[in-house]
Amino acid sequence: MIDLAQLRREPEFVKTALARRGVDFSTMDEIIALDVEHRRLLQEAEGLRAEVKEFSRQVGEARKNKESAKADELAAKSRNLGDHEKLATQQLDAVAEELREKLLLIPNLPAPDVPDGQDENDNVETRRWWVGMDEGATFPTYAEYQRVPHWDIGIELGILDLESGAKLAGSMFPLYRGAGARLVRALGFYALNSHIADYEEIRPPSFALTETMMSTGHLPKSVDDMYAIERDDLWAIPTAEVPLTSMNRGEILDEEQLPVRLTAQTACFRREAGAAGRDTRGLLRVHEFDKVELFAYCTPDQADAAHADILARAEALLQVLGLTYRVLDLCTGDLGTSSARTVDLEVYSPGVDRWLEVSSVSWFRDFQARRANVRYRTAAGTTAFVHTVNGSALAWARIWAALVETYRQPDGSVKLPDVLAPYMGDQLVITKKAS
RNA sequence: GGAGGGAUGACAGAGCGGCCGAAUGUACCGGUCUUGAAAACCGGCGUGGGCUUGCCCACCGUGGGUUCAAAUCCCACUCCCUCCGCCA
């Protein structure tokens, strides 16, 4: 949620910033008008209420003094005023609700240094990394035997069974088997272990209340991308960001506690309604995947460092897995609703010859904290909204694809990076027989 | 799924229709005392909103209702605790 007080204080600044991401001035003008109306009605209703309260007090006094005629008279006056108050409050509530609904749909202000752009094509690539780059190696060339898509490798080695997944839950619900299943488990285990010295490990519920989904900004805007369990008013979480951001909902933290750093691996559920028919093959885009998320509540001063740390951790994992990747600075047109700034990491997957998004590291300023009402007490004793920062490290379905394609051997087997040995039962080579 | 009990400020815990935004204690902050500290004593000490900045309004799990007036009465829901049933 944007700061209404700021909109009131510097409307032109806010409007200009939001225009960069496609919110037109008229929308903001409507909100400003509603705000003025809201405050007018608020004053009216509160004034009436104050009068009612005063009369009520006098009724009580009269009753105590056994002046029952006077008390009845005052009560009648108060009742009359109360009717007016009720009416004014109804109008007030209606305007407040309209204002709230409009406000919930307004995205966050982009940070000043976010590049302008329409869509993902305007994202700015800031750098690339590949094995041996620091030693002067040129961008890797990939052999013919690495140019096989992971869905073919999966079938060949018996480690990915999309047909069974489709049979059970429909298309785009992958089913891994044998060494393929173990690989998913290994990646999550390895990644979590690399974070838990600095981030508290959380295992949250996989479903969340509507209120929880509102806090992160996934609702109301992205309803169609969420799986709903209507009977119980629950939603399947699209990312661990949802439960983690709401862990301290409605609370006031001590400044010394910050930054609060959390990590969790969860299944992530996405309907991908807007992307129907796109990237339907293999693991490029799936309805359910496992992801390790890193998250922090922090002060505004700590936000930069927190963001940098999460990005560094995601990159470190990619590097240790030996995957080629690039770093993108998301443009205003591709920024998520709640984000002020986002950096994406995309791995290069040679079999499909595509860059695949595997991490998104975002800084939300106080946008989510305002919705979730998470504050902290400053040293001066005042309260302020925390900043939230989060990022994936990493999303495993696409990593899985990039790994099997990158590490496919001339004989068709796949030889996984050494770091995974402890988690793969020392079985790093996946062959047809072994799986 | 059934029966009962509960939800009040950072915490503990009163209040059960009329200056109650809420006693009291603890914690916390400031002061007196002290070489210093502790103790003792004095004062302060919830969150948010509006505007004429001093006042007003809201908030006692959540949402409705009754009343001139609700933390207090009524209804529904949520969560926690105890017991019974079922169960991985």
Same domain, A159 and A286: yes
The amino acid sitting at A353 is D
Which structural domain range is residue A134 located in? 120-430
Same domain, A217 and A362: yes
Same domain, A254 and A377: yes
Strand B, nucleotides < 7 Å from a protein CB: these are 10, 18-19, 47-51, 56-58, 67-69
Q: What is the signed CA dihedral for A274, A275, A277, A278, rounded to 10 degrees?
A: 160
Same domain, A166 and A24: no
* DSSP secondary structure string for all residues of A339-361: -SEEEEEEEEETTTTEEEEEEEE
What integer is the mean pLDDT of A161-189?
96
Q: What is the pLDDT of residue A253?
A: 87
What integer is the mean pLDDT of A84-106?
93
A216 close to A240: Cβ distance less than 8 angstroms: no
Q: How far is CA A202 from CA A5, A120, A266, A387, A402, in A?
A: 35, 32, 9, 20, 27
Question: Is the CB of residue A11 inside 7 Å of nucleic acid strand B?
Answer: no
| Shortest CA to C1' contact from A61: nucleotide | B18
Same domain, A162 and A217: yes
Per the prediction, chain A carries an average pLDDT of 94
What integer is the mean pLDDT of A71-88?
92
- The C1' atom of B12 and the CA atom of A18 lie apart, in whole Å, by 48
Q: Which of A86, A83, A107 is nearest to A31 (CA)?
A: A107
- Collapsing DSSP to helix, strand or coil, A279 comes out as coil
Same domain, A85 and A209: no
Q: What is the pLDDT of residue A251?
A: 87
Same domain, A305 and A334: yes
pTM, two decimal places: 0.93
Q: Residue A153: how many CB atoms within 10 A of its CB?
A: 24
CA distance A156 to A162: 12
Q: Which of A426, A398, A433 is nearest to A412 (CA)?
A: A433
Confidence of residue A433 (pLDDT cuts 50, 70, 90): low
Same domain, A134 and A215: yes
Per-residue pLDDT of A249-276, as tens digits, reads 888 888 888 899 999 999 999 998 877 6
Question: Is the CB of residue A94 inside 7 Å of nucleic acid strand B?
Answer: no
Q: How far is CA A365 from CA A115, A334, A387, A389, in A?
A: 17, 17, 5, 8
- The C1' atom of B37 and the CA atom of A428 lie apart, in whole Å, by 64
Per-residue pLDDT of A39-74, as tens digits, reads 999 999 999 999 999 999 999 999 888 888 899 999
Q: Residue A394: how many CB atoms within 10 A of its CB?
A: 27
Q: What is the pLDDT of residue A435?
A: 43
Residue A224 located in a structural domain:
yes
Phi, psi of A134 (to 5 degrees): -65, -25
Per-residue pLDDT of A370-390, as tens digits, reads 999 999 888 777 888 999 999
